[in-house]
Structure 1
Amino acid sequence: MSIQLTAKSLFEVVQDAKITSPRGFTAAGVHSGVKRKSLDLGAIICAVPATAAAVYTTNAFQAPPLKVTQESIGVEGKLKAFVVNSGIANACTGERGLQDAYQMRQKTAELLGIPPHQVGVVSTGVIGEYLPMEKVLNGLERVVNEAETEGGELFAKSILTTDTCTKKVEVSAEIDGKEVKIAGVAKGSGMIHPNMATMLGFVTTDAVIDPNHLQSLLWQTTDETFNMITVDGDCSTNDMVVAMASGLAGNHPLHPQHPDWKKFQSAFSYVCQELAKKIARDGEGATRLIEVKVDGASSVEMARKIAKSIVGSSLVKSAVFGADANWGRILCAAGYGDPIISPDSVDVCLGPVSVVKGGLPAEYDEAAASEVLKQEKVEIYVSLNMGEQKATAWGCDLTYDYVKINASYRT
């Protein structure tokens, strides 16, 4: 296990990340038959009722499993288990889909001997198809029996759809003299757009924190991380990020006035931001991660809107794919992101190359600008020179393969 110290030394980044590293957690992933061959059913299980918080998709067609999870967490803000299937989203499935989600919750609760409201449920995959419940229920027996501290990698694989890789992050921090761990896994590759996307995120920690403070932290962090990524502008029906805190680290309860609150907040934010960036980089068919940093805005909302508009622009994304330093597309996206900006004050840089100064073309080396766009991580800087606020958004380039993948998604 290799550990890298962060620049501010607030926490340590663990390279061999595991969702089960925080005390009290086990996990598993199996092939139940929802998919033809791949792992398609997973679970995270906590030895004790864990403090829980979640955020959900803003899509009006919210899938039944999300409604069941909202109901579960709403009882006492605690979960002992979370089960996930991939391959079929159980979305737009009406009353039958809702009952199937309840059945998944009930079966898991019976297998663990816990109240149903201590189980969360989520699905991801094709919309409009019913789950093969006999296979799912049989698979749940295997998942519960096989859950172990080394099961994190199998869980990470079991939640994938069109993803090309698993997405994992882990950090540790010293809180009240105790080692506190925070780990996360996510899936997401297409139908990614603020606010939330066809993405699932799971964060575990062994910190002591009550449900209200964890929920507030998750809301705030999501606005700065998961809600700042886009791949294709499509907001999904099944998106969810859930956080579970076992409380087994033995620290004093965390809250905004706690001496180590900022340290914990920073570590938690790092996990979510890195997961968000991994999702953006793994966009369907993507070859590059695009990072757009906007500063000099008069409000955070303005900075966020403009950063999202630029990183979500199909024309900007296509220009990055073609390594074409077409800065006019960046200005165009910034202009419709927030029309009240002052065009005469905007500066744009592609990496270190200044291409726009005061809303006008700057003298620059075309080859140098093109070279910036060929890097695996493309950095675009936009200075509005209107205030002190800033924001960062992440996305990916738009390639031929994106169309290929989504033209045959169901086949």
Structure 2
Amino acid sequence: MKEISKKNFDGYKYVDGGVCAAKGFKANGLYCGIKENPTKKPDLCLVESDVMCSAAGVFTQNKVKGAPVTVSQKNLAKTGGKAKGFILNSKNANTCNADGEEKAYKMCEMTAAKMGVKPEEILIAQTGVIGQILPLEPIEAKIDELYEGLSYEGNEKAAIAIMTTDTVKKEVAVEFELDGKICHVGGMGKGSGMIHPNMATTLNVITTDCAVSSEMLKKALTDIVKITYNCLSVDGDQSTNDTCAVMANGLAGNPEITAEGESYEVFKKALYIVMMNITKMLAKDGEGATKLLECTVTGAKNLDTAIIVAKSVICSPLFKCAMFGADANWGRILCAVGYAEADFDINKVDVSLSSKAGEIHVCHNGAGIEFSEEVVKTVLLEDEITISVSIGDGNGTATAWGCDLTYDYVKINGDYRS
């Protein structure tokens, strides 16, 4: 089971539609043949707003950046944070190629010509194998069909088209009221491997019909990335193409959010709900994964300390292996807590493990306590495991997400290029 459990939030309702849940957004996805595939799995998609949007993006911090990352960054800079559409492809990352930027920009030109806008008003993201030349011919041959097939119900086609080793599509949307207007935030993401914190991991498109300025979009996205995507790790490898972009078209009719305040906080909460849930989806569908791992750290002196410790646990290969085997080897948790580069008293650390099968405490004040191996085995055999770590009496709290490390992860990555 790859479905995640969703937490309910007062005032926000989960709805269908993904990137098309927000008013005025259309999408489509199809197979164009970027890489020959006998199953003809979709590999090209497009998202368009009926009107020009405020836009913001967060991108990989890897020194090796894919051509689409560079082009999208340049386009956002040229327009001052405006975009009309977003084109994405799978099967080829268009990274480490001498002609990469030229081809990525050419895809923006093709898309812009269909929409009647400037190339810099198009964002682009690409994913797949690094270092392989991107063939433009299949994309050119299908761009008309892709555009003409745009639909207000096309979110699922788009979400499927960006999948690589993903086993399930990843999309979520919420509806809420803002200044008397019904608003939506929806998104889709992809990613199963080469996922590690420090940007907005994987490819993600988020749309909203809220009216929000580019500056406030950027602020909200940066703040939420820090406590969602940047707290996600599948395998410790940070991708070259990581992209997360938000487009806001204002068609809900609310007064534009141009500063912090109550309206901004309501919108920011919706953005958090969407991005947090996609983060969990990405973690649960990690390559070869059988379990979603969620580590929540409390009692830290500040947020940053809590994040560092939570990520240290989630990133530990030994701990991830133990969770695959449903082994309550809590010493691996304490080990990961101990080498986290943060300031706290290890003698105040408490650890418990829980799932829908129950909760069991395994460590108190930095030392082991007696527990039933039989009971804890039952807890750890579930497909969603929560690791709760208390490191003191401070107000800092944070959650990080990951998955177990299995035999299948090695199988998948030992034969990835095929």
The Cα shift of 1:265 comes to 1.4
Look up the SS of the partner of 1:355 in the other structure.
Answer: strand
Partner SS state of residue 337, structure 1: coil
In the alignment, residue 12 of structure 1 is paired with which amino acid?
K
Q: Do 1:292 and 1:382's aligned partners in 2 also have CA atoms closer than 8 Å?
A: yes
Q: Assess, with a 3 A threshold, how the Cα gap between structure 1 residues 257 and 122 changes in structure 2: closer, same or farther.
A: closer
What letter is aligned with 1:410? R
Give 1:104 deviation, angstroms. 0.6
In 2, the alpha carbon distance for the partners of 1:392 and 1:18 equals 24
Cα separation, partners in 2 of 1:98 and 1:311, compared to 1, 3 Å = same
1:53–1:244 CA contact under 8 A, matched in 2: yes
Distance in 2 between residues matched to 1:339 and 1:69, nearest whole Å: 35
* 1:282 matches 2:285: yes
Change (3 A) 1:318 1:345: same
Could you tell me whether the CA contact under 8 Å between 1:41 and 1:85 is conserved in 2?
A: yes
AA at the equivalent of 1:399 = T
* 2:57 paired residue number: 54
> 2:121 pairs with 90, 96, 118, which one?
118
Residue 22 of structure 1 aligns to a residue whose secondary structure is coil
Of residues 289, 299, 304, the one that matches 1:296 is 299
Normalising by structure 2, we get a TM-score of: 0.94
What's the secondary structure of 2:20's corresponding residue?
Answer: coil
CA RMSD of aligned residues (A): 1.5
| 1:27 aligned partner | 27
SS at match of 1:189: coil
Instruction: Determine which of 83, 91, 95 is the counterpart of 1:87.
Output: 91
| Structure 1 stretch displaced more, 284-293 or 259-268 | 259-268
Query: What displacement does 1:240 show?
Result: 0.4
Which residue of the other structure, out of 326, 330, 346, is the alignment partner of 1:327? 330
**Structure 1: unaligned runs, 5 residues or longer:** none
Match of 1:155 among 135, 158, 161: 158
Q: Hey, what does 2:17 align to over in structure 1?
A: 17
CA distance in 2, matches of 1:298, 1:379: 22
Relative to the length of structure 1, the TM-score reads 0.96
Separation (CA, whole Å) in 1 of partners of 2:59 and 2:368: 42
Separation in structure 2 between the aligned mates of residue 283 and residue 370 of structure 1, nearest angstrom: 22
Question: Are residues 173 and 332 of structure 1, via their aligned partners in 2, closer, same or farther at CA, if it must alter by over 3 Å?
Answer: same
* Letter paired with 1:81: G
Is contact 2:211-2:251 (8 Å) kept? yes
**Could you say if the C-alpha distance between residues 297 and 404 of structure 1 is closer, same or farther in structure 2, counting changes exceeding 3 Å?**
same
Give the one of 39, 42, 66 matched to 2:42: 39
Long gaps (5+) in structure 2: none
How many aligned residue pairs are there? 406
2:176 is aligned to: 173
- 1:71 Cα deviation (Å)? 1.1
**How far does the alpha carbon of each residue in 1:348-384 deviate from its partner, in whole angstroms, 9 at most, with x for none?**
1112211101111112111112222111110101100
Check conservation: 2:201, 2:244, Cα contact below 8 A: no
Deviates more, 1:196-205 or 1:285-294: 196-205
CA positional deviation for 1:156: 0.5
**Structure 2 CA distance for aligned equivalents of residues 410 and 162 of structure 1:** 11
Name the % identity: 41
SS where residue 262 of structure 1 aligns? helix
Partner AA of 1:111 in structure 2: K
- Partner of 2:83, secondary structure, is strand
Task: Provide the C-alpha distance between the structure 1 equivalents of 2:148 and 2:116, rounded to a whole number of angstroms.
Answer: 13
1:322 maps to amino acid: G
